Structure 1
């Protein structure tokens, strides 16, 4: 049977499009790798050898087709290879960082080397230790690293070996099924336990002479303390965070104001900081060399400036520490400067694609982090906007360009970056900054024009004792940014809250946006359709009707007035629930809502014609028999007796919750648990191999 001419023509057109797409393979590479990496992290259980073998076979077949297939088949074959490679890379990375995880609660002496000092969300100083010794714990079962929240007093410096008495526990799981899993972050950070130490921290021995592994950390702390000594109050703490990455001096009130105003990205070293620093050094060196007159015409001043900027960025990375966000920012900056050295455009989609591939090669888990998603979303958005903006700016009246171009460019940059990163921030953090555009327009230019250049100048002049004027300028700039954050955060409607989307929304939206940028024709239309579908799924998202904390400390029931709590305990889990609900209320407000009643040790509520009972305290196990009837849901923050008859109810006691993790019921009483037997991941406590 003859093939219709229209179908033959359409097939020929598709073939030609696939052949042409091979020239854009570098743009598609991070998308394909990201699909593979994302597939690994979203897999319902830890992939075993059968899944790995399938990936290897598919990748091998794709590689063969990439080499041997007709021209039209090579592009999809290459994408298949990259998807399989991304998945296998994630599998390898997850196993390569494997380290022991504490499987029990520990209280006793803890000895180790300080490798990091930071501050918790509750404004408490923390230290991270490695080279650990735990009393009574075999070395092969001792975590590679632990993180301790400290009591009052100054923290020890990185590199010092210290000893204290501490409570330790395994990294906690998600607050609810499908929620953010701290265990995964801890796994890739090789963090095997977390805890607190109220006892004094004693120095056992100073840093080992000749050990340069933590020299940058010690220099960072020294520079941070020197800056805070010269600049009083939070201005010094924010300036230290900008220049050294040490955020331990920033108070909770300042952090909250920065978040509410949409300026929190300022105090976390990212592509913005690295780009500003490298850009200032690049411009200063290039224009400085131009002063050499005719000799500068013979020098490759642009490349010399790029080398100087790369050196400055490398030193900045060494001082700021090996945090993932800092490394990611450095890679992006280094790739762009390398493009200058090879006579390529520094700001292009290809450069960003190469940077994304480099980051995923080093740390595939970065794909799941908000910083990675927001950094690349903002950068791609700005590059896409750059072409149309340049053409439009040329149409402005010549007399007004010197004024309008900077002002409108800044406003447009803030709008584009906000639009690109807004959905990610809302999905990841459940918050939307109502006046973030205004705050960024007021603060970011000061940071780029005054604060970061003054920091670089101060660093150059400090050895000669001439840094005071630059530090003064830096202090004035940081005070202005804090002033803007505080006043914007105080406005009504400064911060809005949104319901957490389902697990498919953000990946679908991200892939759709990426394909819409690099795709063409019908492919671009399908990508836009995927974004629309993701938005529809987000709008239709629903929250669990009943939530149970993993330790049984709290129960949350959704009511028309919002989620009501059985108890104000389990503060972290409860705060996560309310944030995911899009509820700005505090745990105390949620506890005060009408729903649960009864004495503290036996709280009860009615849901869907069934009783929900939360038992706690010493009398809790004995009370199970009296409430376990008529299909009640009973939560016991303890262990039920072996002789208890629980046939008349659904009982969630501590042993069962220890196995399941947090529990969620939907409106149809369908149950989801965090840890499903047979579907555990490496970072699940019962899924790791130690």
Structure 2
């Protein structure tokens, strides 16, 4: 009987020559481990992990026979995991900046470095070189983001301009429920030390100075396209060429999401591939048409270099988000492979692109953009490798006219299947007619929109770009019409309950095993996928959710989650309902509240516990004392006296949002702080144990004590 070590070595040997795609996977495991910690590791540990990782990689590179693969491969894998852990920690420290930990109201001065639009459809400015009147420079955030409400003079919000405004600022918010999306971590890597809003006009303090040429060029091109193509068409054109979505309406964005066409907005592999392919084809045909270059010049290599230059310019104009960086690296690897007479597209090139992105921006691993982008690309490359082998083995290959049709069908289906679980987990919806929408929209993007965009860039110096933009607008109008039409169909969108923590990692593991392993071993990938499906189907939602400011309470009942108020806290309410897989809005959910509502005091019993929500100081004064068996949540005022379990704003400031489960043996309370722990983006200091003992003493079985009682 073979020993387990021998079986493992044989399994590794069977994959020889196909192990490189697992390099970014191991690196990602280390990055994921760093982000999963609830205690910030010290800098000594980070240096140790980096050192161990480098030593393991050096050993793996230098080790030769008789070192067996069963030893060498695990050592390299462990080294990559350690290296990923250290890289993520180094990146977290590298972007560190001051955080505002209080509510600020007053003058805000800064330079405009980005313009976008919030979920509430308000224009937002991101400012650097920030000046806050009462704060010292070393305590001032590196960047702040401000939403503009009210009557604004947007002429002041020019790229690179220095502006001043009167704003309300506060720290980036945490997860709206324990275990949810942590905006504090997201904002940390964007170097956002404060977020807020203003209702007064933004004033121009100084006109744009030198610098930020790419940002200025992006916004100029965006304005040019919107001037030629009015309305949503121009906004769509600006989004797909420059990445500027600030002019797109929320209704249009929602239609694109509901039909699985939102990926056309993200400048990703589709756009980069179409652009590079179009430029490569035009240059190659043009050089072939010239008699001198036809026989004397390396036409294919010149076309590849020209396409690489076009892709580089597109990357610069697009703003360089994760999906665009991934697409550019993929396109660059493929084009450089053409220059070097190597195979242009393979799982190795996908792995190399993932490796580069993870090294430069480890935090990208946790975002849906990275996950969906690489899931689609890996699945497509793996599928078409199998299709090409199948077609090669056939005595009579498929007719040429069928190739583009089958490629479109297969690519749309494979990309949709690969990204659907990730999109469902992050956005809690599935577009049931997304395949139809993509089949009738993606060809228009490739055959009309992208060529017209390239033509407009070439004609722009002559002032004739309007002709190409008109053609581009017709293609975009078709896509928008498809999105609006299909989104209006019955059951176009189906809600999905948010999965547990382990579901996405298991889906990723199963998908990677199916795509990367060779032989019958790849079939083992079905096991993690089945386990993930089982865990997802049994997802356990909290019986009660409490917002981190005490402004909203949601209680899960037989008809769905009942909310304690029908307005206010709309973002929190929407996220809770989406995570429940509930399409009802806040007003409809508030009608589910079955308990008495007296003024701004809402009560509802759940089992043997009565939940009471006190909204405002007057509600606190009218309520009086609380009693045992009550859980009281108040949004303002002094803590109510009594022997109940109280969630006061000062308590919630420390705990974050709260989830409560009821069981036969009592209640289980889980706070956002217990799930996320003490990390840099929560204000933890590296190598400082302050607050660590307090955090370790908290238990999921009971909430932390109120500091004011």
1:202 pairs with 2:200? no
Stretch moving more, 291-300 or 168-177: 291-300
CA contact (8 A) 1:543 1:581 kept: yes
Distance 1:383 1:120, change over 3 A: same
**Following TM superposition, by how much is the alpha carbon of 1:373 offset from its aligned partner in structure 2, in angstroms?**
0.6
Give the SS at the match of 1:123.
coil
Q: Secondary structure at the match of 1:203?
A: strand
Cα distance, 1:239 vs structure 2: 0.9
> Structure 1's 670 and 115: CA in aligned 2 closer, same or farther, altered over 3 A?
same
TM-align CA RMSD: 2.4
Tell me the residue number matched to 1:3: none
Measured after TM superposition, the shift of residue 511 of structure 1 is 2.2
Q: Could you say which residue in structure 1 is the equivalent of 2:571?
A: 572
2:653, 2:503 → 1: CA distance?
Answer: 30
Match of 1:650 in 2: 645
What's the counterpart of residue 26 of structure 2?
32
C-alpha distance in 2 between matches for 1:520 and 1:402: 29
Q: Quote the residue 1:421 is aligned against.
A: 419
Change (3 A) 1:429 1:284: same
CA contact (8 A) 2:546 2:552 kept: yes
| TM-score, scaled relative to structure 2 | 0.91
Query: What residue number does 1:222 align with?
Result: 220
CA distance in 2, matches of 1:327, 1:508: 26
Asked if 2 retains the 8 angstrom alpha-carbon contact of 1:114 and 1:160, the reply is: yes
Instruction: State the Cα deviation string for residues 301-335 of structure 1 (Å, max 9, x = none).
Output: 22211111111111112222233333333222222
Contact 1:19–1:75 at 8 Å: present in 2 too? no
What's 1:303 paired with?
301
Residue equivalent to 2:238: 240
- The 5 Å alignment of 1:86-485 reads 86-151=84-149, 152-153=151-152, 154=154, 156-209=157-210, 211=211, 214-293=212-291, 295-390=293-388, 401-485=399-483
Pick which of 498-507 and 521-530 moved more.
521-530
Q: Which range moves more in the overlay, 25-34 or 322-331?
A: 322-331
Other-structure match for 2:67: 70
1:95/1:523 CA distance change after superposition, 3 Å: farther
Distance in 2 of aligned mates of 1:278 and 1:316? 10
**Partner of residue 662, structure 1:** 657
Report the Cα offset of residue 595 of structure 1: 2.4
CA distance in structure 2 between the aligned counterparts of 1:78 and 1:677, rounded to whole angstroms? 31
Structure 1 distance, partners of 2:532, 2:123, is 40
- Does the 8 Å CA contact 2:166/2:198 hold for their aligned counterparts? yes
- Greater Cα offset, 295-304 or 273-282: 295-304
Structure 1 segment 495-574 matched on structure 2, within 5 A: 495-520=493-518, 524-568=522-566, 569-574=568-573
What is the CA-CA distance between 1:588 and the residue it aligns to? Answer: 1.1
Over 3 Å counting, the alpha-carbon distance change for 1:160 and 1:11 in structure 2 is: closer
Give the deviation of 1:165 after TM superposition: 0.9
Using the TM superposition, name which of 396-405 and 526-535 deviates more: 396-405
TM-aligned CA deviation for residue 271 of structure 1: 1.8
Q: Partners in 2 of 1:452 and 1:677 — Cα distance?
A: 45
Superposition deviation, residue 56 in structure 1: 5.0
Partner of 2:39: 45
> How many pairs does the alignment contain?
677
Gaps of 5+ in 1: 1-5
Q: C-alpha deviations, 1:18-54, integer Å up to 9, x for none?
A: 3454533321101100100011111122223575466
Gaps of 5+ in 2: 691-709
Does the aligned pair in 1 maintain the 2:141–2:194 contact within 8 Å? yes
The reply on whether 1:622 has 2:621 as its aligned counterpart is: yes
Query: When the two structures are superposed, what TM-score results if normalisation uses the length of structure 1?
Result: 0.93
* Cα distance in 1, alignment partners of residues 53 and 470 from structure 2: 58
Q: Distance in 2 between matches of 1:399 and 1:96?
A: 54
Whether the aligned pair in 2 keeps the contact of 1:31 and 1:511 (CA below 8 Å) is: no
**Secondary structure of 1:401's partner?**
coil
